[in-house]
């Protein structure tokens, strides 16, 4: 039996995220921001963003991009990067920037889980190894910030997406699929 996809459209409000449960399959449309280590460190330390991230989604991704002769950008590949690298910054960024969705791979730690619960944010697991497929959901590169400062991989890309699929890994109620899998695995291991 296939679970139905829950369609979410930017801005991603707390009302939308509070209805999601760990394990739900979602499809995002609208604006999604990218960010990796350098951006998260900058946001956590300076508390300043060049764009309003409130009710937004930040995708832990270092896209592969190509610039056209007319100056416009095209996303060639957009795979998720390992999210736990952002754990030192994520709770602060969620609280101060008003994010409602984080997208990445591999899960997040306790501080992020608590920030999600407190601020109505969710963590979505994107499909690793599907960078070219995810790139097809990017309809347009709206803008790029910190390109000269951080480089293309670490820049803050503003993407317009349609049909970006992911699974809720951590919901806004503090339920984590990663914790559930770890507990089941530990129980099975103990039984052996």
Q: What is the pLDDT of residue 182?
A: 62
Q: What is the pLDDT of residue 144?
A: 98
Q: What is the pLDDT of residue 84?
A: 97
Kindly state the DSSP code that residue 115 receives in the 8-state scheme: H
Q: What is the pLDDT of residue 178?
A: 78
Would you state the structure tokens that stand for residue 112, as one six-digit string?
Answer: 């992020």
Own/partner contacts of 142-150, CB < 8 Å, gap of 24 or more, are 142/31, 143/51, 144/73, 145/50, 145/51, 146/38, 146/39, 146/42, 146/50, 150/38, 150/39
Q: Cα–Cα distance between 65 and 75 in angstroms, integer?
A: 5
Q: What is the pLDDT of residue 187?
A: 72
Out of 40, 42, 60, 119, the active site residue is 40
Distance linking the first and last C-alpha atoms of the chain: 31
Q: What is the pLDDT of residue 183?
A: 64
Per-residue pLDDT of the chain (192 residues; tens, 9 = 90+): 577 899 999 999 999 999 999 999 999 999 999 999 999 999 999 999 999 999 999 999 999 999 999 999 999 999 999 999 999 999 999 999 999 999 999 999 999 999 999 999 999 999 988 999 999 999 999 999 999 999 999 999 999 999 999 999 999 999 998 777 666 766 777 777
Q: Cα–Cα distance between 124 and 130 in angstroms, integer?
A: 15
- Answer whether the bond into residue 121 is a cis peptide, omega within 30°: no
Q: Cα–Cα distance between 189 and 118 in angstroms, integer?
A: 33
Specify whether 40 is catalytic: yes
**Residues facing residue 33 across a β-bridge:** 58, 158
In this predicted model, what pLDDT tens digit does every residue of 77-86 receive, in sequence order? 999 999 999 9
Q: What is the pLDDT of residue 181?
A: 62
Asked if 108 contacts 84 with a C-beta cutoff of 8 angstroms, the reply is yes
Q: What is the pLDDT of residue 4?
A: 84
């Amino acid at each position: 039996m296939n679970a139905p996809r829950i369609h979410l459209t930017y801005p991603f409000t707390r009302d939308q995220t509070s209805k999601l449960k760990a394990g739900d399959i979602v499809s995002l449309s609208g604006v999604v921001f990218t960010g990796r280590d350098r951006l998260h460190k900058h946001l956590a330390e300076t508390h300043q963003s060049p764009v309003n991230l409130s009710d937004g989604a930040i995708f832990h991704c270092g896209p592969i991009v190509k610039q056209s002769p007319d100056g416009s950008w095209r996303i060639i590949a957009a795979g998720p990067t390992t999210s736990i690298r952002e754990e030192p910054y994520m709770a602060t960024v969620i609280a101060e920037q008003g994010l409602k969705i984080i997208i990445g791979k591999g899960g997040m730690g306790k501080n992020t889980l608590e920030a999600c619960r407190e601020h109505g944010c969710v963590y979505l697991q994107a499909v690793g190894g599907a960078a070219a497929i995810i790139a097809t959901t990017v309809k347009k590169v709206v803008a790029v910030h910190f390109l000269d400062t951080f480089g293309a991989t670490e820049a803050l890309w503003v993407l317009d997406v349609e049909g970006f699929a992911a699974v809720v890994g951590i919901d806004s109620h503090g339920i984590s699929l990663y914790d559930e899998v770890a507990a089941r695995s530990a129980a099975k291991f103990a039984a052996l």
